[in-house]
Amino acid sequence: MVDNKWTLLVHGGAGIILRGALSAEQDEGARAGLTKALEAGSTLLANGGSAMDAVAAAVIKLEDDVHFNAGRGAVFTYEGINELDASIMEGATRRAGAVAAVRHTRNPVLLARAVMEHSPHVMLSRDGADAFSREQGLEQVEPNYFATPERWRQLEELKANKLDYYDIDMKYGTVGAVAVDQHGNVAAATSTGGLTGKRWGRIGDSPIIGAGNYADNRACAVSATGAGEFFIRLGVAHEICARMRMLGEDAKLAADHVITELGQLGGTGGVIVTAPDGTSIFSFNTPGMYRGRATSDGEKYVAIYGDE
C-alpha cells in the first residue's frame, strides 16, 4: 500500500552541547551537515524510494562531513588510528548488516549494507571486513583520509590530561538516520568512529543490532548515540521497539522510559525513533543532540540544543 507519506530523522550525536560551547563555525557547519543529510534522504523518499535507500543516503552525507564522528572526521584510538563501526537494518524483513573496526572503506554504512545484502552474515570486523569491502568493489581510501587536525588535538589533550581513555566532554558525534517510506516500511542506520582514545579493540553499541540500531515494521526504527557501553547493556534500540510492540506504548513513551532507565544506570545519550505510521520522536538525557527531521507534510527541522 502506498499513501505518499514519509518521514526521515537524522542525528549527529548527543552530549554536553551547550549554547556558547560551540563556535559559530561549528554550529553552522553541523546544521549544514544535518540539512544535507535530510535533503539526500528526503529526495529519495519523496520520489517513492525505500526507507533503506534513504537512511543510507543520509548517513553517507554525515560520514563525509568532518563535523561528525563518523567516516571522515572520526576520532582516534589511543594508538592514533581511525577505526570505524556501522550498521543498517530494514524493518520489513529484519535483515541487518554491521561492520566493526574497519579502516579503509570511505563509507562504512555502505559496507554494512553490503554485509546484509551480499553475505550470509550480520557482522564482520577488522581485516576481514576490509577484505570483504574490496571484494564488493566499495570505494577504498588510505587511513589518513579519515584523519583531521581537530580529532588529533582531542586525542593529544586526552593523553596529556590522563583522562582514562574516554571522550570526557561527551560530545558524542555518532551519526544515524531512521525513516519510514511511502510503503510503510522502516529502516535504520548508524555509523561512528567510537570514543576518543578507545583501547584494546573496544567496540561500542553502534554496530550492534538491538543496541545502537534496530528496525521492525511491527514497531519502529531506532538509531542511538551516546555512552555505548550502557546502550549495549540495556539493548536500548530493541527495548524501545519491544515496548511499542508488546506493551502498546507509543514511540515517545517507550523511548523516554528506556532513556530514563539508561540515565539511572549512569548512561547518557539519545535516540531517534520513527514508526510505520510516520510518528517520529527524539529522546535524549543530555543538554543537546544534533538532530533533524523532514516529512512529506513539508516539515524541515534542524536543531542542536535541548531548548530548540
Give the mean pLDDT of 144-152.
92
φ and ψ of 191, to 5 deg: -150, 145
Contacts of 58-61 with C-beta under 8 Å, sequence gap 24+, read 58/8, 58/10, 58/177, 58/179, 58/189, 59/10, 59/86, 59/107, 59/109, 59/175, 59/176, 59/177, 59/189, 59/190, 59/191, 60/107, 60/109, 60/110, 61/33, 61/36, 61/37
Which segment of 92-101, 158-167, 210-219, 263-272 scores lowest on mean pLDDT? Answer: 158-167
DSSP 120: S
Give the mean pLDDT of 103-116.
98
Helix spans in the chain (H) = 24-46, 51-63, 108-118, 126-135, 149-160, 228-234, 236-247, 251-265
Band of residue 172 on the pLDDT scale cut at 50, 70, 90: low
**pLDDT tens-digit map of 246-255:** 999 999 999 9
Band of residue 109 on the pLDDT scale cut at 50, 70, 90: very high
pLDDT at 16: 74
Band of residue 280 on the pLDDT scale cut at 50, 70, 90: very high
Band of residue 225 on the pLDDT scale cut at 50, 70, 90: very high
Contacts of 128-137 with C-beta under 8 Å, sequence gap 24+, read 129/99, 129/100, 129/101, 129/102, 129/105, 130/102, 130/103, 130/104, 130/105, 133/102, 133/104, 133/105, 134/104, 136/111
d(CA 3, CA 304): 31
Give the mean pLDDT of 196-209.
94
d(CA 43, CA 112): 22
pLDDT at 160: 86
For the chain, give the mean pLDDT. 94
List, in order of start, the domains of the chain with CATH numbers. Answer: 7-305 (3.60.20.30)
Which of the residues 7, 174, 190, 192 is marked catalytic? 174
Q: Is 174 in the active site?
A: yes
Band of residue 290 on the pLDDT scale cut at 50, 70, 90: very high
Neighbours of 161 (CB within 10 A): 9
Q: Return the SS3 of 269.
A: strand
pLDDT at 171: 56
pLDDT at 216: 98
Band of residue 111 on the pLDDT scale cut at 50, 70, 90: very high
b/e burial code for range 57-82 (CB count within 10 A of at least 16 → b): bbbbbbbbbbbbbbbbbbbbbbeeeb
For residue 123, pLDDT over 60 is answered with yes
pLDDT at 293: 98
**Burial classification of residue 264, based on how many CB atoms lie within 10 Å of its CB (0-12 exposed, 13-18 middle, 19 or more buried):** exposed
Give the mean pLDDT of 49-66.
98
pLDDT at 219: 98
Give the mean pLDDT of 63-90.
95
Q: Which three cell numbers stand for residue 282?
A: 527524539
For residue 168, pLDDT over 70 is answered with no
pLDDT at 17: 82
Stated pTM of the model: 0.95
